[in-house]
Amino acid sequence: MESMREEHQAIWENILYRDKKSWGLAAVFGTGLSTALAFGENLERYGSLPLSNRAMWMRIVLVAVVVTVVTVFLWSVLQEFQERRRDAASRERRRHSLFAGWDALAPQTRSLLLWLLLMLCYFVVLMAVYPGFFVYDAQDELTMVETRQFTTHHPLFHVLLLGGVITGVHHLTGSYNLGIFCYSLLQMSVMAASLVTLLDYLRRKGIRRWIRMVSVLFFGFCPTVVMFVLCTAKDSLFSAFLLLLTVSLLEMFAEPEMFWQSRRKRILFLLSAAGMMLLRHNGAYAFLVFLLFLIGWSRGFRRKAAVLWGGAFVLFLAATMVMTASMRATSDENQEILTVPIQQLARTFVYNGEDFSAADREAMLELMPEEDWKRYTPKLSDPVKVHFNNAAFEEDPGKYLSLWLRMGVKHPLTYLNAWFLTSYGYWYPNAVIDCYRGNTVFTYTYRDSSYFGFETELPGERESRIPWLNELYRQFSLEKWPQTTPVVHLFFSPAVLFWLFAFAMLYCIDRGCHVPCRAMFPVFLVWLTVLLGPCSLVRYVVILWFAAPLFLAFLFNAERFR
C-alpha cells in the first residue's frame, strides 16, 4: 500500500511540475485529435463542414482541453513506469527465467523459428483464400506483361515481378491460380522476413518481453496484417521495404558507429531505400523530402550519409531508367498527381456550376465532357479523373492552373470539403472505409464497407480449402461491423493507428528522445502524400500496422532510443 501511495504521489508531482514544453506538445496532440473528431463526424454525417457552427468550435476547444490533460497524465504515468522499471531490473530477469531456453538459442535460430511461425499463420489463411488476394491493380499489371504494353502508371519493378512470376508459372503448368499462389508464397516469405527483422531489432534493443510477445501475436493474427501479407497489391511489399528502412534508420541514428562499421546494415539500408522507391511513386517523393532533413540530422557522419543516401537514389533512378527503356514504357498521365485539384474542380462544377463563365466552362469541357465531370463522387476521385484529357492539359497547363486558382478563391470551403472527403479516413478514428460503395467488381458489389478488396480477380479464381475462414475474412473485408464494433474497430482503423503514432512521437520529443522521430519521419511523409490521393483506403497506409510494435516500444522503453 505504501509503495502504491508513493507511486501515485510521484505521478501527480510529475503532472504538476511538467514544463511548458510538455503542455505545449500535449496541446498540439489534443487540438489535432479534437479537430479531427469534430471535422470527421460532420463529414461522415453530412458530407461537408459547418465552419460557421459555433457549437462545433466550442466542442473542439472543450475536447482539446480534456485530451491535453489526459495526455499529460498518461505521459506522466509512462515516465514513472519507466523510472521504476530500472529499479526492478533484477526482478524482471527472475520473473522471466522460464524463457531461459528461448534466450539461449542462437539469434539466427530464433529468427528462423519466428519466421516459420508467421509463415504457418499466413499459410493457413492462404489456403482459405487460395490462390490469394489477387486484387486492386494486379490484373492491370499482369495484362501489361502478357500484352507487352507497358506504362509507368504502375511501378515497373512490381509489374515485372508480379507478372513475371505468374506468367512464368502459367507457361509451365497452364494454371493462373498456381501462378498467383506461387507469387503469394514469395511475397509472404519476404513480408514475414521483414517483420522478423523488426522483432529481432526489438530484442537487441532490450525491449520488454511482453511487447515482443504481443507483437508476434499481432503480426500472426491481426486480420489487416494478414490481408496485406497475402495481397498482391504493390502496397504490401512497399510497406515491407519501408519498415526495413525504418529499422535501418533507427540503427543509423541511435548507434552510428556500429551502423557504419557493418557492411550488412549498410546494404540493407541501400536495398530497402531503393526498393521502397521502386514500389510506389510516393515513396520516391517522401525520400527526396527526407534528404533535406538528413543534413541536419547527420552530424559526425554527413559525408558517409550523403554517399549512402545518394547511392540509394542513384540505384532507384538507374533501375527505373533501365526498366522504362527496355520495356518501352509510355508515360502520358497527369491525373495521378492532380487527383485533388480534379476532385475540387468537379465538386465546384457540380455544386456551383452557375459561377463558371462561358470561357471557364469551355476550359472545363476541354479537359472532360460535362457528363464526366458530373460523375463526381465525394469519397472517390476515380470516376472523374479516369476520363481526364492529358493531351489538353499538357498543351496549356497554365490556363487550367489559373482556372483552378480562381475557382478556389471563390469557393474555398468547397475545395476544402472536396479534399477532406477523400482523405478523412486517415485521420478520423470513427471513419468507415466505404469509398467504393456501389461499385461492382468481378464477384460482388461493394455495399457498406470497402475496407479490403477481398476477391481473386480474373484470370484467377477463388478455390477455398477452408470455407469458414474464407467467409470470416470476407466479413472483415466487406462488412461494416469490424469498423463499427467498439474495441474491435481499434484494430481496423487507420486513423486510430495514426493518432497512436502521433502520441508516441510527441511523447518521445517530450522525453528528449529524438531518434524515433527522425527514423519514423519517412513514414510520416508517406502518410502526408496519401492525403493527396484518390480516396481513403487501408492499402495506402498499411505501414502503420507493420510499425505498430515500434509505437509501443517507444512508449514503454523511450529511454532506449536516446
**What residues contact residue 449 under an 8 Å CB cut-off, 6+ apart?**
432, 433, 434, 477, 478, 479, 480, 482, 483
Query: What are 75's three cell numbers?
Result: 505521459
Least confident of 31-45, 248-262, 284-298: 284-298
CA nearest neighbour of 193 among 244, 259, 254: 244
Structure confidence by residue, pLDDT tens digits, 163-210: 999 999 999 999 999 999 999 999 999 999 999 999 999 999 989 889
H/E element holding 172?
Answer: helix 156-173
Looking at the DSSP bridge assignments, the partners of residue 380 are 377
Task: Say which DSSP state 193 is in.
Answer: H
Q: Rounded CA gap, 533 and 338, in Å? A: 9
H/E element holding 183?
Answer: helix 176-204
Which of the pair, 336 or 123, is modelled with greater confidence? Answer: 123
CA nearest neighbour of 199 among 227, 218, 184: 218
Per DSSP, the three-state class of 205 is coil
Q: Rounded CA gap, 376 and 469, in Å? A: 37
For the chain, the 3-state helix, strand and coil shares in percent, each to the nearest 5, are: 75, 0, 25
Which of the pair, 455 or 79, is modelled with greater confidence? Answer: 455
Q: Rounded CA gap, 520 and 246, in Å? A: 6
Query: What are 76's three cell numbers?
Result: 506522466
What mean pLDDT comes out for the span 349-359? 94
Q: Rounded CA gap, 541 and 480, in Å? A: 19
Q: How many CA atoms lie within 13 A of 107 on its CB side?
A: 8
Find the angle CA(394)-CA(400)-CA(404) to the nearest 5 degrees.
Answer: 140
pLDDT band, residue 97 (cuts 50/70/90): low
Q: What is the dihedral of CA 229, 273, 336, 156, to 10 degrees?
A: -70
Per the CB < 8 A criterion, the answer to whether 244 and 550 are in contact is no
Structure confidence by residue, pLDDT tens digits, 130-146: 999 999 999 999 999 99
Amino acid found at 495: A
Q: Rounded CA gap, 298 and 340, in Å? A: 35
Task: Count Cβ atoms below 10 Å from residue 190 Cβ, excluding itself.
Answer: 17
pLDDT band, residue 14 (cuts 50/70/90): low
What mean pLDDT comes out for the span 114-140? 97
Structure confidence by residue, pLDDT tens digits, 23-75: 999 999 999 999 999 999 999 999 999 999 999 999 999 999 999 999 999 99
Query: What are 304's three cell numbers?
Result: 558517409
Query: What are 234's three cell numbers?
Result: 504493390
Which of the pair, 254 or 6, is modelled with greater confidence? Answer: 254
**Residue in the structure block whose three cell numbers are 510506389:** 280
**pLDDT score for 90:** 46
**pLDDT score for 301:** 82
pLDDT band, residue 2 (cuts 50/70/90): low
Which of the pair, 273 or 337, is modelled with greater confidence? Answer: 273
Per the CB < 8 A criterion, the answer to whether 134 and 459 are in contact is no
Portion of the chain with pLDDT greater than 70, in percent: 93
Per the CB < 8 A criterion, the answer to whether 124 and 469 are in contact is yes
Q: Rounded CA gap, 312 and 294, in Å? A: 14
Q: Rounded CA gap, 219 and 238, in Å? A: 17
Which of the pair, 394 or 14, is modelled with greater confidence? Answer: 394
Q: How many CA atoms lie within 13 A of 481 on its CB side?
A: 5
**What residues contact residue 531 under an 8 Å CB cut-off, 6+ apart?**
419, 423, 426
Task: Find the distance separating the first CA and the last CA of the chain, reported in whole Å.
Answer: 34
**pLDDT score for 7:** 53
Query: What are 462's three cell numbers?
Result: 477463388
pLDDT(88) > 60:
no
Rounded to the nearest integer, the mean pLDDT of the chain is: 91
Amino acid found at 321: M
What mean pLDDT comes out for the span 485-492? 95
Per the CB < 8 A criterion, the answer to whether 488 and 482 are in contact is yes
What mean pLDDT comes out for the span 477-482? 96
Amino acid found at 12: W
Per the CB < 8 A criterion, the answer to whether 231 and 545 are in contact is no
Per the CB < 8 A criterion, the answer to whether 232 and 216 are in contact is no
Q: Rounded CA gap, 365 and 415, in Å? A: 19
CA nearest neighbour of 215 among 560, 562, 551: 551
pLDDT band, residue 559 (cuts 50/70/90): confident
Amino acid found at 85: R
Q: How many helices (H) and strands (E) does the chain have?
A: 30, 0
Q: Rounded CA gap, 488 and 451, in Å? A: 14
**pLDDT score for 202:** 95
Give the C-alpha distances (Å, rounded to integers) separating 336 from 21, 333, 340, 390, 391: 40, 7, 9, 11, 14
Sign for the CA dihedral angle at 143, 149, 151, 155 comes to positive
Q: For residue 459, is the peptide bond before it cis, meaning its omega torsion is within 30 degrees of 0?
A: yes
Q: For residue 223, is the peptide bond before it cis, meaning its omega torsion is within 30 degrees of 0?
A: no
Structure confidence by residue, pLDDT tens digits, 386-436: 889 888 998 999 999 999 999 999 999 999 999 999 999 999 999 999 999
Q: Rounded CA gap, 420 and 449, in Å? A: 19
3-state secondary structure 212-250: HHHHHHHHHHCHHHHHHHCECCHHHHHHHHHHHHHHHHH
